[in-house]
Amino acid sequence: MSELQSVLLLKKQLTELHKNPVEGFSAGLIDDNDIYKWEVLIIGPPDTLYEGGFFKAHLNFPKEYPLRPPKMKFVTEIWHPNIDKSGDVCISILHEPGDDKWGYEKASERWLPVHTVETILISVISMLADPNDESPANVDAAKDWRENYPEFKRKVARCVRKSQEDM
């Protein structure tokens, strides 16, 4: 796939999201002159610890998109087992395509070119509601989740409050 094709595909997905917004997030370009750098705002999903929060993240697409996945990084502080302390999101569908050299994931769980910005963000919202503490990016958050849930809830509530203040 050529760079021109990735540009056209990303423009099409952006237009589609603006015409038909999806509940739970909004997306746009960080800089109108760079289709490869997006900013998204994820609204904390209802009936989760993240409810009421406004979490900003960046999606950085490679020129080889959709053959390779984007990288996603939260710029709003967030406490979650699958988001490392610097904000990088660790979720199967954002892992490079093909077999996992460590054998944790099937190729079908990893990046596939059929994924769109919408499917990525819906997966991330789902991940907020249901963390995978078996393969954590933030070991401390996973430990809190498993062993000290009240402390986990307290740290998430602090992030939610801070996200509301930053809006």
Which positions ≥6 away from 129 have C-beta within 8 Å? 45, 47, 48, 50
Q: CA nearest 97: which of 113, 117, 83, 116? A: 113
| Annotation says 159 is catalytic | no
Contacts of 77 (CB under 8 A, 6+ apart): 87, 159, 162, 163
* Active-site entry in 40, 90, 94, 142: 90
Angle of CA points 22, 130, 62, to nearest 5°:
55
Separation between Cα atoms, residue 159 and residue 76, nearest integer Å: 8
Q: Hunting for tokens 């395509």 — which residue is that?
A: 97
Provide the annotated active-site residues. Answer: 90
